[in-house]
Amino acid sequence: MHDLLSIAEVERLPLADGDLLLWPQVDLGYPSDSLLRQLIDDTEWRQEQITVFGKPYLQPRLSAWHGDLSYRYSGIRLEPLAWTPILRHIKSRVENLTDLKFNSVLLNYYRDENDGMGMHSDDERELGQRPAIASLSLGEARDFVLKHRFRKDLGTVKLPLSAGSLLLMQGDTQRYWRHGINKLRRPCGPRLNLTFRRIISKNQ
């Protein structure tokens, strides 16, 4: 593996019991606002109904799952859509930057301030023990909120993820931390987040 940290455009963020690398601004080969528009317009968005403690509810965002294998979480099973040329292009850029390989991507579309994502860890069995997840943001900046699962003394970490930023979560991050995107009280334009993942077992 090449020495990522010798490349000035990435920084390791201090986080106890976890490992976060942030590229504040990556070059995707297209302006990030045209990628945002193209992905919003061309994606087969769905609003998934999930089950939490036995109760069904609609997720407050739209999503799409592309890749080679299906994926299950919170009681739903996502059958993958095929890779599109633009997603393949972004995937290979992200793979070059991180020096990792991914076989799927979850796209999340936060239409406005009323959309968000509850606190969770990406700790499904299919992702393996210490998953590396690369998260690319486009559109409006939103705070990525992290809370330690056991150590309340560590307090809440907030990372504003702006258009063109790439966050790599790896090591013990999913084991010890939850993360999410809060809804906002002030008006806010659309944001897209693409999380590239590597599914390592089918677990059907």
Ligand X SMILES: O=C(O)CCC(=O)C(=O)O
For residue 47, give every residue at least 6 positions away whose Cβ sits within 8 Å of its Cβ, in sequence order, or none: 58, 59, 61, 62, 63
Query: Closer to ligand X at the Cβ: 144 or 177?
Result: 144
Would you count residue 43 as binding ligand X (CB under 6 A)? Answer: no
Residue 14: phi, psi to the nearest 5? -70, 125
Query: Closer to ligand X at the Cβ: 6 or 189?
Result: 189
Which residue type, as a one-letter code, is found at position 183? K
> Which x/- pattern, by CB under 6 A, does the window 162-181 give for ligand X?
-----------------x-x
Would you count residue 122 as binding ligand X (CB under 6 A)? Answer: yes
Q: Among 43, 135, 165, 173, which residue sits at the site for ligand X (rule: CB under 6 A)? A: 135
Query: Closer to ligand X at the Cβ: 1 or 199?
Result: 199
Give me the least distance between CB of 103 and Mn ion, in Å please.
17
Give me the least distance between CB of 197 and ligand X, in Å please.
9
**Contact by Cβ (8 Å): 142, 191:** yes
Q: Which helix (H) or strand (E) holds 11?
A: strand 11-13
**Contacted by 108, from ligand X, Mn ion, none: CB < 5 to 8 Å by type:** ligand X
Would you count residue 70 as binding ligand X (CB under 6 A)? Answer: no
Tell me the C-alpha to C-alpha distance, in Å, between residue 201 and each of 12, 107, 198.
Answer: 29, 21, 9
Query: Closer to ligand X at the Cβ: 36 or 161?
Result: 161
Give me the least distance between CB of 134 and ligand X, in Å please.
11
Beta strands in 68-165 (DSSP E): 71-73, 76-78, 104-110, 117-120, 133-139, 142-148, 156-161
Q: Among 108, 165, 173, 174, which residue sits at the site for ligand X (rule: CB under 6 A)? A: 108
Q: How far apart are CA 1 and CA 133, in angstroms?
A: 17
Give me the least distance between CB of 3 and ligand X, in Å please.
26
| Per-residue tokens: 188 | 């806010």
Query: Closer to Mn ion at the Cβ: 122 or 124?
Result: 122
Query: Distance between alpha carbon 91 and the CA centroid of its chain, in Å?
Result: 13
Positions in the binding site for Mn ion (CB under 5 A): 122
> What DSSP designation does 81 have?
B
What is the contact surface with ligand X in residues (CB under 6 A)?
Answer: 106, 108, 117, 122, 135, 144, 161, 179, 181, 193, 195
